[in-house]
Amino acid sequence: MKVVELAAPGFAGIRFADRPSALLGGHEVRIAMRAAALNYRDLAIAKGNYPVRRPVIPCSDGVGIVVETSTKATRVAVGDRVCPLFFPRWLAGAFDPAEFTRDLGGAIDGVLAQEVVMSEQSVVKVPPHLTDAQAAALPCAALTAWSALTSHVSIRPGQKVLIEGTGGVSLFALQFALLMGAEVLVTSSSAAKLAKARAMGAHHVLNYKDVPAWGVAAKEMLGGGADVIVDVGGAATFSEAIQALAPNGSISLVGVLSGAEAKLPVPMFMTRAMHAHGIAVGSREGFLAMNRAIALHKVVPVIDRVFPFADTPAAYAYAAAEHFGKVVIEIGK
Amino acid sequence: MKVVELAAPGFAGIRFADRPSALLGGHEVRIAMRAAALNYRDLAIAKGNYPVRRPVIPCSDGVGIVVETSTKATRVAVGDRVCPLFFPRWLAGAFDPAEFTRDLGGAIDGVLAQEVVMSEQSVVKVPPHLTDAQAAALPCAALTAWSALTSHVSIRPGQKVLIEGTGGVSLFALQFALLMGAEVLVTSSSAAKLAKARAMGAHHVLNYKDVPAWGVAAKEMLGGGADVIVDVGGAATFSEAIQALAPNGSISLVGVLSGAEAKLPVPMFMTRAMHAHGIAVGSREGFLAMNRAIALHKVVPVIDRVFPFADTPAAYAYAAAEHFGKVVIEIGK
Amino acid sequence: MKVVELAAPGFAGIRFADRPSALLGGHEVRIAMRAAALNYRDLAIAKGNYPVRRPVIPCSDGVGIVVETSTKATRVAVGDRVCPLFFPRWLAGAFDPAEFTRDLGGAIDGVLAQEVVMSEQSVVKVPPHLTDAQAAALPCAALTAWSALTSHVSIRPGQKVLIEGTGGVSLFALQFALLMGAEVLVTSSSAAKLAKARAMGAHHVLNYKDVPAWGVAAKEMLGGGADVIVDVGGAATFSEAIQALAPNGSISLVGVLSGAEAKLPVPMFMTRAMHAHGIAVGSREGFLAMNRAIALHKVVPVIDRVFPFADTPAAYAYAAAEHFGKVVIEIGK
Amino acid sequence: MKVVELAAPGFAGIRFADRPSALLGGHEVRIAMRAAALNYRDLAIAKGNYPVRRPVIPCSDGVGIVVETSTKATRVAVGDRVCPLFFPRWLAGAFDPAEFTRDLGGAIDGVLAQEVVMSEQSVVKVPPHLTDAQAAALPCAALTAWSALTSHVSIRPGQKVLIEGTGGVSLFALQFALLMGAEVLVTSSSAAKLAKARAMGAHHVLNYKDVPAWGVAAKEMLGGGADVIVDVGGAATFSEAIQALAPNGSISLVGVLSGAEAKLPVPMFMTRAMHAHGIAVGSREGFLAMNRAIALHKVVPVIDRVFPFADTPAAYAYAAAEHFGKVVIEIGK
C-alpha cells in the first residue's frame, strides 16, 4: 500500500513510499482511508518542531471505510465509514498522558496512507451527512473544540463564549458554541475572516490587529466578559484572555500558537474566581457525544480546499499559508 | 389597593378586596403589578387542595414596575420592571425546604394585587423584549422548566429530551431544550397540541391516548431513549417515563398531575444506572441565568389568553379547562 | 483445571468439574485463582433466581496470580496479584447496559475455578497488605459500596451517611464513609451486628426490628437526615429511606433484598429536592481509585469465614444463613 | 465602644479609638466581639500594601456573642456565639467580585472592635467545642482552606494533596485534607515546622530550602504527583507546583506570598490535562458545611499565641515574624 512518510524535518522531507499491508490481530480492523485533514500540529511535525520517530506516516485526522475485520471484532463491520481515534486507547474517563506514546501521526504512524489497521475499539462511525473531506477533520480538530466546551465546563444557553482565531479548532468551537445557545465572540487579525465568522453566526467579532489590548475590549463587547474562552494561542493570548474573562469564568487551553509560557496574574485569577483547564483532544466517549450533535444539527465542517493524494506536499504548503477552514487530502484518488 | 383574595375553598371563594398599602422596611421595594400568570398550583390552591392561610392573595407568577424603593435599596430602581421570586429568600445554592413557609401565593400573599412589597433581594429584572403578559409567567413556570434542564443535568447538543405534556412548564422546557441543541420529544393526548409542539420545533411527538404504553414507544422514537425527561405527571407517568429513559439518563420530577405516589422499578433503575431529581422551582441565580438565555434568543412565552383583572374568576375557570399556553391576568387595567 | 459449575437451580446443583485450560489470545492473561468471595447475587444465581446459561462457573468476586501473559500484554506481568473486573469491558465513563451480557459468574463464566483467562485490560492489581481472602471481595462488594459513595455524590467531611444493613456492600460502605469523614448511621435487625458496626466506627446504630418506622427515627438521630443513603433493600426500605433523607440528599440504589418495586412519594421528593441514583457496581477507573484508598488506609475487609475449595457447597449454605462479613472460598487449597 | 483603627500605613499607624455604638436596622444584630485572628492580609493592609479607606477598623476574622437583635431577626438569638462573614453578602452560589467592595477589615470596617453590627444573614454560629481564640480564625483562614479543597475539586480518600507552607490557611488545609482521607505532603523551609506538620498527620514533608526544585521531588514522593495542590505562594511556587501536579490534577490558587505573576507552562498544562482554580475565601454555605466537619471531628485550630486587646500592636509585630499557627487578639479582656 502507498503511504506518505516524513523522512526528514522540513516539508522537503515529505515523500511517498510503499509499505506492506499489516496482518489483522484479534479485534483489529483494516480501514481503506478516504481522506485526511491537516492540523497545525501536522505542519509542526513535518517541519521537525515535534520529536517523532522517522520515517513516520503523518496525520491524526482522517476517515476511511472498514474493508476487513478480524473474527473477534463486533463493534464495526465491513462497509462502515469510520475515523480512527487520535489517542487509540482513550475510551473514556480521565486522561492518561501515556497516550502521548501512541498519538496518531506522532508517536505512531498516522492516517495519510491507503490503509490503516486499528483495534475495533479505536474507531468511531461518522455521521452519514458528511462528505469524506468533511468527516476527515473530526478526530483532533473537532473533538478538541468539543472537549474545550464540554469536558470541564457546562455551557448554558445565554452564556458567553469567546473563541480566539478562525483555525480548525476555532471554527468547530464556533459551530458547537452556537448549538449550545451561547453568545459568541470571535477574534482574528483578518477582516475577511471575521466577516466569514459573522456569516457563520458569531454575535460579535473583534479584530485584534486594530485593538491589540483586545481583552478589555472583548469584555466590554460581551457585557461583563466571557464565561468560557477557547484559548488557542498560549503565551501571548492568555494575558488578554484573562482580561476578557468574566468572574467565575473558565479558559480552556488548547494551543500554543503564540508561545509556550503564559503569564498568570494570580490576584485577578483569585479575586474573580477564575478557572483554567488543559485540554488534550478528547476521549472516544466525547467523540460519540459530539457526533450525535453533528448528526442532529447536520453540522458541516468548513473546508477550504481539497488536494489529491499525489499533491500532498502542495497541501502542506497551502495549509502553512493563509486559509479559512480545513485543508484536506483525498486518498485513493 | 385592590387585591384578589381566596376567602374559601373553590373558585367561588375568589373575591376582590381592598387592603392598605404596606410601609417599606429597609431594603424593600414597592411594585405596581402589571400582570399575573396562572399555574396548575394556583388552581389547586383556589380549589382548596393545598393548605393555605385564608384569606390569601393568590398567584406566584407576576411582573410589575418598581414604583418606590427604601433608602437602603441598591439592586433595583424606580421604573425597573421586575418579577418577584417564587421563594423570596432562595438566592443561590442548595434548596432549604423552609422556603415553603414563604412561597408566594401559598404560605404568604402572592402577586394578584395592585401592589406587592418585597425585599430588593427578592426580585429580578425581566428581559425587555417581553410583554407584561409574557414576562408574568417566568417565576414558577419558566424557572421550573429551566431548573429541570440545568440544575442537576448538563444537556449537550445532540442529547435527547422527553417532555411530558404541553402545560406551562412543559412548553418552556420545550423552548429551552431546543436552545440547548437537544433532540426533543413531546407527549400529549391531543393531536392539535402536538401539532403546535411540532410547529414550535419538537422533533418528535407522541399521542399517549393512541399509545398508552408510551414509554417503550418513546424509547424507540428516540433511538435508545431519552437522556433527560421532564416528568410533570408523577404517579401514572413515572412508570412510563422510566421505560423511555436511556441508560445513565435522568428524570427531573416537577409535578404530580396524575397522582402522588410513583412506582420505582429498582432493578431497571440500577442496571441502567438511572437518576431521578426532585425539582423545587429554582433560585434567583437560576432565574438570572435563564433570563440571559431568554434575552439572547428572544424567547417568547406561549400565551393562550389574557384576562382583565376584573375577570379574574373567569380566568381561573378558563385555566381549569383545555388550553395551550399561559392564562394571564392583567392588573391595573 | 478444576472448576465449580452450576448445573441446575438450587444449591444441590453446585458441582465440581474439569475443564481444559483455554489458550491465550492477544492481550489476554492467565490467572491462577486464589480465592473467591460470595455475594447475595451468587446465592440468587445458584438458587436459580437469575437467568444464567448453564452450566456456568459461578462468582464474580475473586483474586488470583497472573501465571502467563500473551506477548502483547503490557499492563500486568507474571506474578502480579489481580482481581478480574465484574464488567470486563467497563473501563471508565458512562455505564453501558450491554455489560450485562458479559458480567462475571452470570452471563459469562466466573472466578470459582483454578484458572481464569481475561484480557489484561480487565484486571486490576490489588493492595499488597490484603490477604487473598480479603482481596477476593473487592470486584463487586467493595466497588459497589465505593461507587454508591463517590460516583454521583461528593461526600464532604461532616456530612451524614446512612447505611442499611451489615451485608458485604454495607460494611464496605461503612468503612469508606468513615474514611471520607462522614457521620455514619447503620441499621440492622440484630443487636449483635449493630454492636460490631459501632465497634467499626459507626456513630449511630438503629435496630429496625425495634423501630419499624425507622426512617423518621434515623432522621432525628442524624439531626436533620442523611445526606447520602446506601439503599440495599429496594421495595421495603426505600420508603423509610426517603423519610430519613435530608433535603438535597441522595439515595444510592444498590440492591433489591426486600423486593423490586419501591414507592416514590413524588411531592416529598420534589419539595425536598431529593435525588436517587442507580448504581451498577463500577468501572475499572473507580476500582483503581478505591484501591488507592484501601492501600493508603490499610482498610481490612471484614471476613466472616473462609472455606476450602472442596467445601464450596458448605460455603454457599453458610452464606445463605446469618453471618457478618464475607464468606470466602480459597481455591487451590 | 473601643476599637482599633488603622490611621496610617505601617504598624505605627495602629491606634485605639472610641466610636459610638451603631443603631440596629432591620434584620441586624449586635455582636460583642471576643477574639480576632490575624491573617497575612491583615498585616499587608496595616503596612499599607492594600488600598483601604482610613481610618478603617482592621481584621476579617473574629468571633463574638450576639447581645442584641432587631425585631425582624430570626436566624440568630441573643447569646449565640457567631463569626461574621468575610464577604457579608456571599451566601451561596457563584462569587460576585462586587463583594470586594464590602470585605471585612478592608473595604468596610472589620472585627477588631468591642462591637460589630451585621445583618443576621451575615453571621454563622460556631462549633461549641472551640475556644474563642480557636473560633476566631474560621471566617477567612479556615474557609479559604475548605474552599480550596471542596469548591471546585472533589477529594476522594486515597487521593494526594500537596499543601504549601504552614501558615494559617495551610494548617487548616492539612487538617481538612486528612479528614477527607487524603495522602498529604506539606512543604516548608523550616525543619521544625515540618516536624510539627508531621505530628499533625502529614504523610510526607519536604523542606524546599534543601530542595529548591521541589516540584519534581514532591511528585516522586507522592508517587506520580498531587491530585490537588493548595498554592499559597503565587509567582515563585506556581512553577514548582505545576511540576508536582499529577495528570488531571488541580491547583487551587489562594495566595500571592511570593509574587503576583505566575508562569503557566501551557504545553505541560494541556498535555497533562491540568486545572487551576482561583479561590476567593468562600460563601456562607461553605462555612456551614465546614463547621459541620469541624464539629463532628472536633478539629482544633492551631493557635500560636494569644494577645490581650491592649497589646494589639505587639500582636501585629509578632505575627509579622516567625510563628506556627494563628496569632489571636482577645477583645474585652
Average pLDDT, chain B: 96
Residue B71 has what pLDDT?
86
B44 contacts in chain C (CB < 8 Å): none
Give the separation between CA D95 and CA A7, rounded to whole angstroms: 54
Single-letter amino acid code for the residue at D86:
F
pLDDT of residue B94 exceeding 80, the answer is yes
Which other chains touch chain C, taking contact as 3+ CB pairs less than 8 Å apart?
Answer: A, B, D
Give the separation between CA B197 and CA B327, rounded to whole angstroms: 17
Please count the residue pairs, one from chain B and one from chain D, whose beta carbons lie less than 8 angstroms apart. 24
Residues on chain D bordering chain C, Cβ-to-Cβ distance under 8 angstroms? 150, 154, 156-159, 176, 179-181, 183, 289-297
SS3 state at D220: helix
Dihedral in degrees, nearest 10, Cα atoms C107, C112, C113, C114? 140
Residue B244 has what pLDDT?
98
Shortest CB distance from C91 goes to which of A25, A72, A93? A93
Contact call for D273 and A94, based on CB within 8 A? yes
* Closest-CA distance of chain D to residue B225, Å: 30
Taking alpha carbons only, the member of A128, A110, A119 closest to residue A3 is A110
For testing the chain B interface, which of A292, A294, A299 should be mutated: the one with the most B CBs within 10 Å?
A292
Single-letter amino acid code for the residue at C179:
L
Contact call for C262 and B264, based on CB within 8 A? yes
* Closest-CA distance of chain A to residue D254, Å: 7
Sign of torsion over alpha carbons A248, A249, A255, A256: negative
Confidence bin at B44 (pLDDT 50/70/90):
very high
In eight-state DSSP terms, residue C22 is: P
Residue B245 has what pLDDT?
98
Residue A258 has what pLDDT?
80
When mean pLDDT is compared across A189-193, B25-29, C198-202, D241-245, the lowest value belongs to: B25-29
Residues on chain C bordering chain D, Cβ-to-Cβ distance under 8 angstroms? 150, 154, 156-159, 176, 179-181, 183, 289-297
Contact call for B263 and C265, based on CB within 8 A? no
Which other chains touch chain A, taking contact as 3+ CB pairs less than 8 Å apart?
Answer: B, C, D
Give the separation between CA A50 and CA A104, rounded to whole angstroms: 13
What number of CA atoms fall less than 13 Å from residue B64's CA on the CB side?
A: 28
Assign 3-class secondary structure to chain A.
CEEEEECCCCHHHEEEEECCCCCCCCCEEEEEEEEEECCHHHHHHHHCCCCCCCCECCCCEEEEEEEEECCCCCCCCCCCEEEECCCCCCCCCCCCHHHHHCCECCCECCCCECEEEEEHHHEEECCCCCCHHHHCCHHHHHHHHHHHHHCCCCCCCCCEEEEECCCHHHHHHHHHHHHCCCEEEEEECCHHHHHHHHHHCCCEEEECCCCCCHHHHHHHHCCCCEEEEEECCCHHHHHHHHHHEEEEEEEEECCCCCCCEEEEEHHHHHHCCCEEEECCCCCHHHHHHHHHHHHHCCCCCCEEEEEEHHHHHHHHHHHHCCCCCEEEEECCC
Dihedral class, residue B141 (left if φ above 0, else alpha if ψ from -120 to 50, else beta): alpha
pLDDT of residue C333 exceeding 60, the answer is no
Contact call for A150 and B156, based on CB within 8 A? yes
B159 contacts in chain A (CB < 8 Å): 289, 292
Residue B234 has what pLDDT?
84
Contact call for C264 and B263, based on CB within 8 A? yes
pLDDT of residue B333 exceeding 70, the answer is no
ipTM: 0.96
Enter the pTM of the model. 0.97
Contact call for B285 and D94, based on CB within 8 A? yes
pLDDT in tens, B151-179: 999 999 999 999 999 999 999 999 999 99
pLDDT in tens, C215-266: 999 999 999 999 999 999 888 899 999 999 999 999 999 998 888 899 999 9
Sign of torsion over alpha carbons B178, B183, B189, B190: positive
pLDDT in tens, A195-232: 999 999 999 999 999 999 999 999 999 999 999 999 99
Shortest CB distance from B94 goes to which of D25, D72, D285? D285
Beta bridge pairs of residue C69? C29
Shortest CB distance from A156 goes to which of B157, B289, B295? B289
Residue A56 has what pLDDT?
95
pLDDT in tens, B100-117: 999 999 999 999 999 999
Give the separation between CA B207 and CA B210, rounded to whole angstroms: 6
Residues on chain C bordering chain B, Cβ-to-Cβ distance under 8 angstroms? 94-97, 100, 152, 234-235, 238, 247-248, 253-256, 260-267, 269-280
Residue D333 has what pLDDT?
57
pLDDT of residue C151 exceeding 70, the answer is yes
Taking alpha carbons only, the member of C329, C302, C304, C36 closest to residue C172 is C302
Shortest CB distance from B270 goes to which of C271, C274, C280? C280
Phi, psi of A250 (to 5 degrees): -125, 140
pLDDT in tens, B219-278: 999 999 999 999 998 888 999 999 999 999 999 999 988 888 999 999 999 999 999 999
For testing the chain A interface, which of B129, B146, B150, B156 should be mutated: the one with the most A CBs within 10 Å?
B156
pLDDT of residue B138 exceeding 90, the answer is yes
For testing the chain C interface, which of B151, B237, B264 should be mutated: the one with the most C CBs within 10 Å?
B264
Residues on chain A bordering chain C, Cβ-to-Cβ distance under 8 angstroms? 25-27, 72, 91-94, 283, 285
C122 contacts in chain A (CB < 8 Å): none
Copy the grid coordinates of residue A233.
494561542
For testing the chain C interface, which of D156, D228, D299 should be mutated: the one with the most C CBs within 10 Å?
D156
Single-letter amino acid code for the residue at B318:
Y
Nearest CA in chain C to A26: C26
Contact call for C280 and B260, based on CB within 8 A? no
Bridge-based pairing state of the strands B115-119 and B28-37: antiparallel
Give the separation between CA D36 and CA D152, rounded to whole angstroms: 29
Which other chains touch chain D, taking contact as 3+ CB pairs less than 8 Å apart?
Answer: A, B, C
pLDDT of residue B191 exceeding 80, the answer is yes
User: In chain A, what percentage of residues exceed pLDDT 90?
Assistant: 92
For testing the chain D interface, which of A269, A272, A283 should be mutated: the one with the most D CBs within 10 Å?
A269
**Distance of alpha carbon A224 from the chain centroid:** 29
Contact C152, C94 (CB under 8 A): no
For testing the chain B interface, which of C143, C256, C266 should be mutated: the one with the most B CBs within 10 Å?
C266
**Distance of alpha carbon D233 from the chain centroid:** 14
Average pLDDT, chain C: 96
Contact D117, D189 (CB under 8 A): no
Nearest CA in chain D to A275: D277
* Closest-CA distance of chain B to residue C26, Å: 30
Shortest CB distance from A158 goes to which of B154, B183, B289? B289
pLDDT tens track of chain D, all 333 residues? 999 999 999 999 999 999 999 999 888 999 999 999 999 999 999 999 888 888 999 999 999 999 999 988 899 999 999 999 999 999 999 999 999 999 999 999 999 999 999 999 999 999 999 999 999 999 999 999 999 999 999 999 999 999 999 999 999 999 999 999 999 999 999 999 999 999 999 999 999 999 999 999 999 999 999 999 999 988 889 999 999 999 999 999 999 888 889 999 999 999 999 999 999 999 999 999 999 999 999 999 999 999 999 999 999 999 999 899 999 999 975
Other C-beta atoms within 10 Å of B243: how many?
Answer: 17
Nearest CA in chain A to D264: A262
